[in-house]
């Protein structure tokens, strides 16, 4: 189930809130656990009852398994390392199996000209996120940073909590351990949570989904037929779409968590205001960066070793960051390009960019969309074609280009570009802080909410009235 859907907002959420609100403190975590399992299984709705049962059971089993591992590590300290390794192998084997089998097989076929059957395995949603959460937990217990959770219900509630189950933020157990056992609820928290949720909904539906239309339009046209200007508009639209989609989702997660009394950590801190790529990755998908720093970078030695080893550590982190994002070569290339830029900044140009912020902003104005390009296009020949369009080095061809295409698309999407630019700055937050508790703000957010619902309502698959071909 997607947050930005009518079923979630008008069916699941009210029902959940009712049950959760009326449940006594003792049972609130059970409600979270069971409600979230239901939420999770609804995500597989189209796949047939067998698939739903298998994937949901797998998830529950994984939660149980990690809970047991945590307890074993805690209580059998002498064999702690053994149990830790068992746990890590289990979690990552599942992730690798579901996410990367196809990729491995295709590459083997390509290398050895073999014909291994590549059966399409449908990825269980959220697996990239809950795998990382489970692993962070057992490592934290092993390191004695935290004591193992005694209650299966509490652990289940932690991992499955629907606000962050599907798309993060990656909440570590230690962040939330206290609140699992003891948290307060209030109307004020509900009010703030709903406001945050609404802002996130607006980002996703009113900005991201709209700009997403532009990127699909470009695919529909075919990259050989777009002008240079349109290519740039396209990749900037994609950059905004990705940002507001993901940030919107994180806001919605934080808002929902707040209603339930949890403080889910923020995931974005104005990344598009960065002057270096290094800074960018401390502001974008913050919880992922923290995870890699805490569980890969620092254990490898972090920055407290020789230069050569530091570079190696960064290389490992960025290689895995790329792979985590997707099972195809363009993501690996993307990770490696980020590695190269960050190393360049660390050893050569970083100081300069930080000092002369204008240059830094210009540098990022190019670096951000260009790196997202590697993220957006999977096929390498398409990537090359798009690149050549951006820099006007396309081969002479008599493919017709609509000379009016920039004007046309600006006419459709221009207002979203402008809105996106303004919303990427701190201006809205400054305004929000001032008006947050005024009736005006309440009415404004109400308008955002209903505008979003209207878009969802219209866009619902009504095949009999609303084709737009």
| Catalytically active residues, by annotation | 325
Kindly tell me the burial class for residue 26, based on how many C-beta atoms sit within 10 Å of its own C-beta (0-12, 13-18, 19 or more).
exposed
User: Taking a C-beta distance cutoff of 8 angstroms, is the pair 261, 182 a contact?
Assistant: no
Figure out which of the listed residues 52, 194, 273, 300 binds another protein, where binding follows CB under 8 A. 194
User: What residues contact residue 109 under an 8 Å CB cut-off, 6+ apart?
Assistant: 115, 116, 118
| Centroid of chain to Cα 295 | 19
Q: Which of residues 427-466 bind another protein (CB under 8 A)?
A: 437, 439, 441-443, 445-446, 449-450, 453, 457, 460-465
Q: How far is the CB of 247 from another protein (least distance, A)?
A: 21
User: Taking a C-beta distance cutoff of 8 angstroms, is the pair 263, 21 a contact?
Assistant: no
Q: How many CA atoms lie within 13 A of 231 on its CB side?
A: 24
Figure out which of the listed residues 151, 227, 354, 402 binds another protein, where binding follows CB under 8 A. 402
- Any contact of residue 422 with another protein (CB under 8 A)? no
Figure out which of the listed residues 405, 420, 424, 455 binds another protein, where binding follows CB under 8 A. 405
Nearer to another protein, 14 or 299 (CB): 14
Planar angle of CA 35, 325, 461, nearest 5 degrees: 55
Between the CA of residue 244 and those of 237, 301, 401, 444, what are the distances in Å?
Answer: 11, 35, 30, 19
Figure out which of the listed residues 111, 358, 400, 430 binds another protein, where binding follows CB under 8 A. 400
* Spatial distance between the Cα atoms of 362 and 365, rounded to a whole number of angstroms: 5
Phi, psi of 27 (to 5 degrees): -105, 0
**Helix 357-376 vs helix 228-259: crossing angle, to nearest 10:** 90
Q: Peptide bond preceding 169: is omega within 30 degrees of 0, i.e. cis?
A: yes
- Any contact of residue 380 with another protein (CB under 8 A)? no
Q: How far is the CB of 450 from another protein (least distance, A)?
A: 7
Figure out which of the listed residues 22, 112, 304, 467 binds another protein, where binding follows CB under 8 A. 467
Figure out which of the listed residues 190, 406, 419, 451 binds another protein, where binding follows CB under 8 A. 190
Figure out which of the listed residues 55, 99, 195, 204 binds another protein, where binding follows CB under 8 A. 195
- Any contact of residue 384 with another protein (CB under 8 A)? no
User: Taking a C-beta distance cutoff of 8 angstroms, is the pair 157, 32 a contact?
Assistant: yes
* Spatial distance between the Cα atoms of 73 and 230, rounded to a whole number of angstroms: 56
Helix (DSSP H) and strand (DSSP E) numbers for the chain: 22, 0
Buried b (16+ CB within 10 A) or exposed e, 413-451: beebbebbeebbeeeeeeeeeeeeeeeeeeeebeebbee
Nearer to another protein, 224 or 294 (CB): 224
Nearer to another protein, 147 or 379 (CB): 379
- Any contact of residue 187 with another protein (CB under 8 A)? yes
Could you tell me how many residues of this chain bind another protein (CB under 8 A)? Answer: 46
Q: How far is the CB of 384 from another protein (least distance, A)?
A: 16
Nearer to another protein, 182 or 216 (CB): 216
Q: How far is the CB of 25 from another protein (least distance, A)?
A: 21
- Any contact of residue 404 with another protein (CB under 8 A)? yes
Kindly tell me the burial class for residue 332, based on how many C-beta atoms sit within 10 Å of its own C-beta (0-12, 13-18, 19 or more).
buried
Given the rule CB under 8 A, which of 93-101, 148-156, 263-271, 398-406 is the region that contacts another protein? 398-406
Q: Which of residues 219-258 bind another protein (CB under 8 A)?
A: 219-222, 224-225
- Any contact of residue 113 with another protein (CB under 8 A)? no
How many residues belong to the chain?
A: 469
Given the rule CB under 8 A, which of 2-10, 102-110, 113-121, 247-255 is the region that contacts another protein? 2-10
Q: x/- site string to another protein, residues 298 to 337, per CB under 8 A?
A: ----------------------------------------
User: Taking a C-beta distance cutoff of 8 angstroms, is the pair 93, 161 a contact?
Assistant: no
User: What residues contact residue 342 under an 8 Å CB cut-off, 6+ apart?
Assistant: 277, 278, 281, 314, 318
Nearer to another protein, 203 or 314 (CB): 203
Q: How far is the CB of 467 from another protein (least distance, A)?
A: 4
- Any contact of residue 469 with another protein (CB under 8 A)? yes
Q: How far is the CB of 140 from another protein (least distance, A)?
A: 36
Q: Which of residues 201-220 bind another protein (CB under 8 A)?
A: 216, 219-220
* Spatial distance between the Cα atoms of 247 and 263, rounded to a whole number of angstroms: 16
Q: How far is the CB of 220 from another protein (least distance, A)?
A: 5
Q: Which of residues 332-371 bind another protein (CB under 8 A)?
A: none
Interaction site with another protein (CB under 8 A): 6-7, 10-11, 14, 187-188, 190-191, 194-195, 198, 216, 219-222, 224-225, 399-402, 404-405, 408, 437, 439, 441-443, 445-446, 449-450, 453, 457, 460-465, 467-469
């Amino acid at each position: 189930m997607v947050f930005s859907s009518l079923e979630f907002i008008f069916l699941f959420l009210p029902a959940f809130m009712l049950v959760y609100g009326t449940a006594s403190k003792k049972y609130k975590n059970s409600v979270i656990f069971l409600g979230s399992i239901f939420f999770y299984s609804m995500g597989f709705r189209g796949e047939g009852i067998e698939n739903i049962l298998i994937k949901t059971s797998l998830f529950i089993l994984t939660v149980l398994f990690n809970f047991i591992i945590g307890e074993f590590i805690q209580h059998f300290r002498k064999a702690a390392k053994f149990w830790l390794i068992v746990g890590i192998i289990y979690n990552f084997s599942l992730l690798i199996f579901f996410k990367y089998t196809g990729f491995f097989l295709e590459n083997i076929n390509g290398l050895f000209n073999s014909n291994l059957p590549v059966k399409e395995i449908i990825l269980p949603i959220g697996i990239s996120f809950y795998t990382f959460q489970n692993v962070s937990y057992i490592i934290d217990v092993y390191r004695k940073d935290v004591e193992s959770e005694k209650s299966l219900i509490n652990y289940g509630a932690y991992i499955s909590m629907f606000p962050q189950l599907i798309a993060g933020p990656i909440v570590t157990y230690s962040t939330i351990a206290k609140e699992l056992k003891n948290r307060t609820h209030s109307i004020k928290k509900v009010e703030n949570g709903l406001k945050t949720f609404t802002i996130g909904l607006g980002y996703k539906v009113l900005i991201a989904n709209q700009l997403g239309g532009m990127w699909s339009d470009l695919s529909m046209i075919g990259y050989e037929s777009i002008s240079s200007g349109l290519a740039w508009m396209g990749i900037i639209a994609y950059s905004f779409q990705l940002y507001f989609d993901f940030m919107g989702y994180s806001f919605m997660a934080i808002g929902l968590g707040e209603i339930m009394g949890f403080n889910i950590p923020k995931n974005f801190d104005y990344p598009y205001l960065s002057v270096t790529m290094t800074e960018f990755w401390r502001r974008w998908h913050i919880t992922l960066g923290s995870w890699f720093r805490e569980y890969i970078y620092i254990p490898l030695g972090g920055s407290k070793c020789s230069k050569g080893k530091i570079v190696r550590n960064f290389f490992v982190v960025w290689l895995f960051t790329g792979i985590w994002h997707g099972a195809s070569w363009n993501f690996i290339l993307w990770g490696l390009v980020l590695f190269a830029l960050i190393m360049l900044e660390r050893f050569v140009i970083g100081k300069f960019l930080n000092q002369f912020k204008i240059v830094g902003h210009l540098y990022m104005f190019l670096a951000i969309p260009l790196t997202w390009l590697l993220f957006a296009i999977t096929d390498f020949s398409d990537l090359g074609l798009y690149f050549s369009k951006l820099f006007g080095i396309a081969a002479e061809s008599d493919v017709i280009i609509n000379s009016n295409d920039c004007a046309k698309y600006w006419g459709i999407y221009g207002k979203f570009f402008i809105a996106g630019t303004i919303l990427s700055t701190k201006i809205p937050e400054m305004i929000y802080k001032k008006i947050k508790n005024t009736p005006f703000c309440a009415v404004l957010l109400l308008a955002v909410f209903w505008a979003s619902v209207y878009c969802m309502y219209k866009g619902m698959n009504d095949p009999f009235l609303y084709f737009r071909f």
